[in-house]
Chain A
């Protein structure tokens, strides 16, 4: 599956648009990471625990989005966007969405 956030797959032609596909996940932080985070609130700097948590969550959201696209028989997902929201105390939602498309020549088709 080709995943891009440009409006088309550069160098390729879109054969048909299949519609919006999306994936999301809501993750809660755990206590150990929270302790490290409150320490970082004291001295400042990157909170690696949270970066990892959100990186993992984002990966899963993309995976679910790509899964939906595969079900539709898509070759690519274009114009992918993200939003993150803090839904409840200690939990964050990561949401990825894009448009599933079929390409002229299929996923592995030759570049024009």
Chain B
């Protein structure tokens, strides 16, 4: 009885902490994304497999951007409820969106470090890391891997 009560209190505390800090973290991350995306316009991303005007290419090198990101306890709970009734899982969608944008920005940063103005054949791969855990809470953790070929022109 006391153990069960303790479980309930722990669960409620988890929800509360998740609700408070989860949204704060998300907002902070979104703000940082907006700022960094605004300064990333010097690099062009393309997902075509063939580089146009190959005769002006100086060199090309594959680059990678990677991130593992988790959603909070509150949103995990809300999502598990939402799964019962179906429909769009907004919290999960926002998580994937943030992860992809972050990975893209890291890819752009890599290109900029090389002094490349273009990234060709950009691809994304995702893995739900939560499957790695015993996942009784079904916490959403996702890895996004973005990669492409940084091209420098002459």
Interfacial residues, chain A to chain B (CB-CB below 8 A): 2-12, 29, 37, 40-48, 50-51, 54-55, 58, 79-86, 89-92, 111-112
Tell me whether A89 and B54 are in contact (CB under 8 A).
no
Residues of A near B147 (CB, < 8 A) are: 5, 80, 82
B4: min CB distance to chain A, Å? 21
B29: min CB distance to chain A, Å? 7
Interfacial residues, chain B to chain A (CB-CB below 8 A): 14, 17-18, 21-22, 25-26, 29, 49-51, 54-62, 64, 66-73, 75-76, 102, 120-121, 123, 125, 127-129, 131-134, 137, 139, 141, 143, 145, 147-149, 151
Tell me whether A47 and B60 are in contact (CB under 8 A).
no
Residues of B near A46 (CB, < 8 A) are: 29, 67-70, 102
Residues of A near B131 (CB, < 8 A) are: 86
Chain A contact residues: helix, strand, loop or mixed: mixed
Which of B14, B18, B50 is the one whose CB lies under 8 Å from A44?
B18
**Given the interface contacts A2-B60, A43-B17, does A58 sit within 8 Å of B66 by beta carbon?**
yes
What is the bound-complex CA distance between A100 and B60, given in angstroms?
A: 16
What is the bound-complex CA distance between A1 and B124, given in angstroms?
A: 23
**Given the interface contacts A37-B141, A42-B72, A82-B147, does A5 sit within 8 Å of B22 by beta carbon?**
no
What is the bound-complex CA distance between A108 and B48, given in angstroms?
A: 25
Tell me whether A89 and B133 are in contact (CB under 8 A).
yes
Q: In this complex, what residue of A is CB-closest to B70?
A: A40
Tell me whether B68 and A50 are in contact (CB under 8 A).
yes
B77: min CB distance to chain A, Å? 11
What are 13 contact pairs spanning A and B, CB under 8 A?
A: A37-B141, A42-B73, A46-B70, A47-B70, A51-B67, A55-B66, A58-B145, A79-B49, A84-B145, A86-B127, A86-B131, A89-B133, A112-B54
